[in-house]
Structure 1
Amino acid sequence: MTQRGEHAGHGGRGAREAPGAGPLAVLDERGVVLEWSRTAERLLGVDRARIVGRPVTDLFARVDSRTLREGVTVGPVRAEGGPVRWGLWAAGPLPGGLRSGVLEAVFTQSPVGLHVLDTDLRVLRVNSVAVGMRGISEERIVGRPIHEVYARYDPLSIESTARDVLATGVPVFDKQLRGHPLADPRREHVFSASVFRLEDATGRPLGLVAAAVDVTARERAQQRLAVLHRAHERIGRSLDPLKCARELARAAVPSLGDVAAVALSDAVLRGPDSETDPERDPTVRCAAVWPEDSEDLPAVGAAFGPDMFGGPADRLAARFVPAGAAGPALVVPLAVRGVLLGVACFARPRRTDPFEDDDMRLAKDLATHTAVCVDNARRYEHAHAVALALQGNLLRPAPRDRSGGQPAALETAHRYLPTGRGRGAWFDVIPLAGARVALTVGQVDGRGPEATAAMVQLRAAVHALSALDLDPHELLARLDDTTHRRNEERTTFGEEGRLTAQCVYAVHDPVTETCAMARAGRQSLLVGLPDGSWRPSPLEESAVLGAEGPPFAADEFPLPPGSTLLLLSGSLPEDATVSGAPGELRLDELPLDQAAVLVARTRALDPEDVASWEITPDLSSVSGARRHTTHRLEQWGMGESTFAAELIVSELVANAIKYGTPPIRLRLIRNRVDQTLTCEISDAGSAAPHLRHARAGDEGGRGLFISGELSERWGVRWADQGKTVWAETSLDD
């Protein structure tokens, strides 16, 4: 016998320990046996009645000495307040091999299925759990080879694993086995098996122990979580009801069924233009199937009427199961707030295992998530359609003159795609005084109706500011102020996010053959020259509207007749190139993801349609200005317009002489395309003229009032040095 350390916790005579945990026997200080456990009876083959009260040396007469020396250890047992006691414990290889008391307890009490195999891989013993898991009696298992016992669980792989463990001694853990046990043949079960080798004291293999646990519930729970995770990742990524339906069918196979099909209501499939209501018309059509090439499924587009959802609800499921198949089918509704948006069907035409409660919960979770995604997609489509309608109706084509032709200064073409990459994009061609034309393209960074609303506000602001005849850089600066004020309003009302936008604003002057331009953001703009060459990005990128940054990029450059301006709502790809003569550029050759594209080819005004004179700063010059005007109008064949033009010129020249600063210059511009006459008076003064309503007794103060009454519109244009007051009248009148 070997000696072991001191042990505590022995409670004295009559105490009992769990098998394999307490001592086999308890001795007093003289070696007399005080207690003898049942385990000791089985282990050493000595009845309790024959040894209790006798010296432990009597064991040598009844038990082989090698068994006591190698199989039992002795050590002190401390008892509080009592005499010293000695205990015997089992240690090392137990006599009788597999007849150990510990092993016996394991086989009778373990919740794990156990098989003990010999070196020929035949079953020597099984426990009750293993018998129940396989549905075969112990008599039919013991003595049979392992490949027969596991005939329903890939027997060749199991036998190969067992032989490897027997040969190498390296255990195998958590080897998953799938099959249909006789105890439950309709359901597939999953077992986690571990195999390790039994050895004697010399390391010689005695056999194998195979332990198996039924982990079907765990695996199915993990599988359901994985299916839900994949479904939440895929379903709803695209705001397209058809893609949502397809991803649902795809996610459900093979976890829920061999095949799956999803049908959606007509109201969902037809989108915002649908006149049907899912609450009144529950007709659905097959929107997706999986596998897509399965012959067990109905054709995409097949209709199912409301009778399919009556008493015999299995009618719909029967459409998904091939004739003669015994497999079950499960149908779940896709509904949100009580409104039926569609149905999903999962069928098992090649399986017999029924749908269980967990399957139904998974199907319901998938259907609920898909219904929410489909409803979101439906609502987004409606909001998107509203946004597109707003953008499409609020943006008008390039303006025409009174005869229906293009403006005199430009020939324009445009393309507008509200579904492009630019969200709230806009473009405009705005006629200005003196035959000049403003071109603008912009886009709001955002989506949906909110971006559309911001686009409308900024576009209206551009129109209002252009009427002030501002320099392009000054116009963008004021538009930036408008954007900042709108952001302050958003903050006041607790709205999240910051409104930003990009804009290019250019003014072409056909008289001076120049273009003044300013840029906020990264929008692409190109200038094509008459010789066929292209000048990319005449302005550097600058801060966007609504953000802090340096002043906006601005410049004025010559733009000869026959040049082309190309303005886009977004940025061109780095590898994009524009080729071809400017006059031959085609809109359909430009990037398709641009929401707004504006192309303008410049023209020059005939020099014969422009007349100008230097005005001496003396009131006597007013009559001379009237004579010059009358003479030029007669040369142009416009004698019928002389009276109104004389009055306008008289009042503008007199006002400039009185309140302006020399030099003073008068210019007349005839626009034969628009049939307008523009009278301009320029001076170096910075005083802003304003229209006054003179009182009855006043001798003056009616100049601008008379000019405003006789002209269709008038205004002031500021320059670096001075200002220009202009009035425009229609030649048709």
Structure 2
Amino acid sequence: MNPVDPEPADPGRFDASTDAVAVVTGAGVVTGWTRAAEELLGRAAGEVVGRSAARLLAGPGDPARVAWIAERCRAGMGWSGQVPLLHGDGHRVDADLRVSAAFRIGGTESFLLSARQPRQRWAVGQSVLDGFLTRSPVGMAVMDLDLRYVWLNDTLEKFGGIPREQRLGRRLSELLPGLQAETIEGLMRKVLVTGIPVTDYEYVGWSWADPHRRHAYSTSFFPLVDAADDVTGVCYMVLDVTERWNARQLLALVNEAGTSIGRTLDVLRTAQELADFAVPRFADLVIVDLLETVLDTGGHGTWLTDAGPAHVRPVMRRAALKSVREGAPEAVAGVGERVDFLPPPHDLHLLISGEAIHIPVLDPADELWLAQEPERLANIREYGIHSLISVPMRARNTALGLTTFMRSLNPVPFQPDDVLLARELVARAALCVDNARRYTREHTAAVTLQRSLLPHALTGGTALEVASSYLPADAPGGVGGDWFDVIPLSGGRVGLVVGDVVGHGLAAAATMGRLRTAVQTLADMEMPPDDLLAHLDDLVLRLGEEEPRDDIGTPLVGATCLYAVYDPVTRRCTMARAGHPPPVVVTPDGAVSFPEPPAGPPLGLGGMAFEAMEIELPENSLLGLYTDGLIEGADHDVARGMDRLGEILAQPEPDLRALCTSVVRRLVPVPQADDIALLLTRTRALGPDHVVSWDVPADPAAVADVRARATRQVEEWGFWELALTTELIVSELVTNAVRYAEPPIRLRLLRDARLTCEVSDASSTAPRLRHARSTDEGGRGLFLVAQLAHRWGARYTPQGKIIWAEQEIA
């Protein structure tokens, strides 16, 4: 076989019912021959079957080409082309041949061949051809070697709006100088020189037929040659593709808007991005008015759905404004001002369920609704605003506001296609505005919740000077669960706590509030730090059972915590931690250390005990508790963050608040994705002039002597008004210890922010407050103490317990 002039395969080109069909083996032997094949080549089946198919070709075979076609068909692709065949009477038959993919018959590789004679070409008369060229919807022209018009059809004459008589003999650049004439003539010269056609060159321009609207054209150029194959001119064809070009432009604008609008979760910024994007691409003036309820981050919208009355005009504020004129003098109201503008009809349903309003030609004389807007009417006339589109902003069945597009300098009115673009732009912006609104409200609620759960005022009494700093996370999830607290305890002691709940948002803030409340309750029960964390761990475990779990079954509730108790009398600090960074200590001489209590597991894991550690702090030492957000960073590890924290705290700074602010600002100069909490304290000590104590013998007769000593000491401190109540409190507490407790017994008076009376013994049994009946002879002692003292309680020590009572100092 010797195929020539191969053509692309056409599945619908052959018909097996009428075409000549033969079956040929892979060795080239004919095994099947149809009646149509006999008619095409004048050969009976007996003359062909069982013989080589090469005998059917009109010329010499090409083994390489035949092998290539065979391989292609074995790959399942098939082949088609034109081949010369030899008729039985010896004349040549040009046939269109198609070869099928290879298949097997009885184990023999075979190919199905079908052939037919090419169809005769349609002959067209000169009159028909002239009518076709003249009335074709494609503009056509013929230019000579000097690029002057020698012929054009009616369509091209209509495109340009210039009569045929004025075009003939003149060049394009002379007729339409603003239509990229130089570029088009450059392309035609290139075709004349190279003889290579230029197809589908698109450009945008104008014509005298429609001078106020841009049109897009697709143009092709090809050379004209004579019988001697010499170039005699150039022919070009023009097709108006304005609608296709507009569709592409609209699609491009919409795609670009997706990356330009809604880049931040800020309502006003998103509205301004919409206005900035549309001017001057689409409009000369863009106004975005949003309902006040949308801009109110704390309220609930009255006009957010279709539940409100339609006869009431909504209250909106101008959220964004953009104009091609500097300062937007066309606008009646500026950004931030209240507006109530609604184009006709003046109905709230426009915002709730109405369609976009399109006024292609805005004629102030014909628009009755403008009579109610005298100031706006004056601006329309002064600045020549002639076309308008107003699109309601809605998202998720929520009315947000109204966006208005206007044209003044651009003379082309808004077209129906422009309304589609305006609606698409506003729809995208509305989703972004609604997302920003929802995020802002949730973020505000989370921040409000967290700040309400954090302490508003911290005091360390006479034991500590306290300063704190909290910085919310700059993350889509909003605030996190970092918290801190300073808890006054009995005996002038102070409890210090800092913690960090896993996660961000409302859930983390709510969990933080529950843990902070639990810590305050456990601290009031005078629990040591390790026991307090154990009880807090149990609470987090119970909370985790109530919360959802992740894919591997791990509870989504977790936290870290550090709890410390500072005693200003002994200057000792007892602390324990649950997966939290260690505290930082700076002594008065500037030495920095990070005492590390045994690192217990984070809260919520369970199964492991917590251990406490005790250190002694010199007076005026600096003790800092913090969360990991303060020391972690993208440019350094935790160890480096701790070193930098110590370096800053070691610098002399008498103002503790200023030092706290400086630490956060220097360690975290830019917002980050985690909360930051820092609690700084400067320790104080209570000297001998504030504390006195006496050993009490286990003898009821010793009560009177101890009571007298306590009364004299209170009077020496100048608390005359507390002498009597102190005498009664000491008498009751010491008497109970002598009667029911075990020695050694000791009485201590402590003068701090309050006057505290403490009685310690070696017993672990705490007294119980009873309400004695009128017939009882005893049981009123603790009840009397509770009535006289500001508060009272008991705490356990390794040696026993301490019963204490506090009195307010005037």
Fold shared per TM-score above 0.5: yes
Paired AA for residue 289 in structure 1: L
8 Å CA contact retained: 2:469, 2:664: no
1:631 lines up with 2:709 in the alignment: yes
Aligned to 1:342: 401
Deviation at 1:363, TM superposition (A): 1.6
Q: Verify: 1:507 aligned to 2:565, yes or no.
A: yes
Give the superposition deviation at 1:601.
1.7
What's the counterpart of residue 681 of structure 1?
761
Q: Counterpart amino acid of 2:535? A: R
1:351 matched to which residue of 2? 410
Query: d(CA) in 1 for partners of 2:343 and 2:15?
Result: 74
Any conservation in 1 of the 2:619–2:684 contact (CA below 8 Å)? yes
Look up the match of 1:412: 466
- Superposition map of 1:234-253 within 5 A: 234-253=260-279
CA contact (8 A) 2:538 2:606 kept: no
- The separation in 2 between residues aligned to 1:451 and 1:377, in whole angstroms, is 21
Alignment counterpart, residue 617 of structure 2, candidates 543, 556, 559: 559
CA contact (8 A) 1:472 1:517 kept: yes
Q: CA deviation at 1:195?
A: 4.4
Match of 1:598 among 653, 656, 679: 679
Partner of 2:245 in structure 1? 219
Distance (Å, rounded) in 1 between the aligned partners of 2:342 and 2:206: 38
The answer to whether residue 335 in structure 2 is matched with residue 300 in structure 1 is yes
In structure 2, how many angstroms separate the alpha carbons of the residues matched to 1:341 and 1:6? 64
Question: Any gaps of 5 or more consecutive residues in structure 1?
Answer: 12-27, 31-73, 91-98, 401-405
d(CA) in 2 for partners of 1:122, 1:544: 88
Say if 1:630 and 1:646, in contact at 8 Å, map to a contact too: no
- CA–CA separation in structure 1 for the residues paired with 2:164 and 2:611: 91
CA distance in 1, matches of 2:268, 2:505: 21
Offset of residue 253 of structure 1: 2.6
CA distance in 1, matches of 2:211, 2:494: 84
**TM-score, scaled relative to structure 2:** 0.65
Identical residues among aligned pairs (%)? 32
Q: Distance in 2 between matches of 1:124 and 1:522?
A: 90
Deviation by residue 1:203-253 (Cα, 9 ceiling, x = unmatched): 865554545444433333333334334444444443433212201102223
CA distance in 2, matches of 1:410, 1:226: 65
- 2:290 match: 264
> In 1, distance between residues paired with 2:653 and 2:766?
42
- The question of 1:714 aligning with 2:793 is answered yes
Residues of 1 paired with 2:381 and 2:617: CA distance? 74
Identify the residue that residue 57 of structure 1 maps to in structure 2.
none
Residues 142 and 732 of structure 1: is their aligned pair in 2 closer, same or farther, counting only changes over 3 Å?
same
TM-score (norm 1): 0.71
Letter matched to residue 147 of structure 1: S
Pair 1:76-2:94 in alignment: yes
Equivalent positions of 1:183-198 (< 5 A) are: 183-195=209-221
Name structure 2 gaps, 5 residues minimum.
8-12, 17-39, 43-91, 98-114, 347-366, 634-640, 666-670, 716-721
Partner Cα separation in structure 1 for residue 409 and residue 653 of structure 2: 66
Could you tell me how far apart the structure 1 residues matched to 2:279 and 2:244 are? 19
Note the 1:40-189 alignment, pairs <5 A.
Answer: 75-77=93-95, 113-123=139-149, 126=152, 130-136=156-162, 141=167, 143-148=169-174, 151-168=177-194, 172=198, 174-189=200-215
| Counterpart Cα distance in 1 of 2:413 and 2:804 | 87
2:321–2:328 Cα contact (<8 Å) kept: no
* Distance in 1 separating the partners of 2:171 and 2:523: 95
Render the CA deviation track for 1:400-419: whole Å, top value 9, x for unaligned: 6xxxxx61211223456678
- Tell me, in whole angstroms, the C-alpha distance in 2 between the residues paired with 1:464 and 1:525: 23
What do residues 43-94 of structure 1 show as CA deviations (whole Å, max 9, x unaligned)? xxxxxxxxxxxxxxxxxxxxxxxxxxxxxxx853589xxxx9987989xxxx
Match of 1:464 in 2: 521
Q: Work out whether residues 287 and 320 of structure 2, in 8 Å CA contact, stay in contact via their aligned partners in 1.
A: yes
Change (3 A) 1:694 1:304: closer
RMSD of aligned alpha carbons: 5.3
CA distance in 1, matches of 2:203, 2:397: 43
Q: Quote the residue 2:734 is aligned against.
A: 649
8 Å Cα contact 1:261-1:297 kept in structure 2? no
Matches within 5 A, 1:362-381: 362-378=421-437, 380-381=439-440
Deviation at 1:562, TM superposition (A): 0.9
Q: Are the structure 2 counterparts of residues 414 and 105 from structure 1 closer, same or farther at C-alpha, using a change threshold of 3 Å? A: same
Deviations 1:319-373, CA, capped at 9 Å, x for gaps: 7757253642322333568876433222222222221222112222333443454
Find 1:589's aligned residue among 638, 644, 662.
Answer: 662
Distance in 2, matches of 1:525 and 1:197, equals 87
Give the deviation of 1:264 after TM superposition.
Answer: 3.1
Deviations 1:513-533 (A, max 9, x none): 122334456679543322245
SS of the residue corresponding to residue 680 of structure 2 reads: strand
The structure-2 alpha-carbon separation of the partners of 1:644 and 1:320, relative to structure 1 and needing over 3 Å to count, comes to same
State the SS of the aligned residue for 1:583: coil
Asked whether the equivalents of residues 152 and 180 of structure 1 are also in contact (C-alpha less than 8 Å), the reply is: yes
For residues 406-445 of structure 1, the aligned pairs below 5 Å read: 407-415=461-469, 422-444=479-501
Report the 3-state secondary structure (helix = DSSP H, G, I; strand = E; otherwise coil) of the residue aligned with 1:300: coil
Q: CA deviation at 1:611?
A: 4.9
Contact 1:506 1:515 (C-alpha < 8 Å) held by counterparts: yes
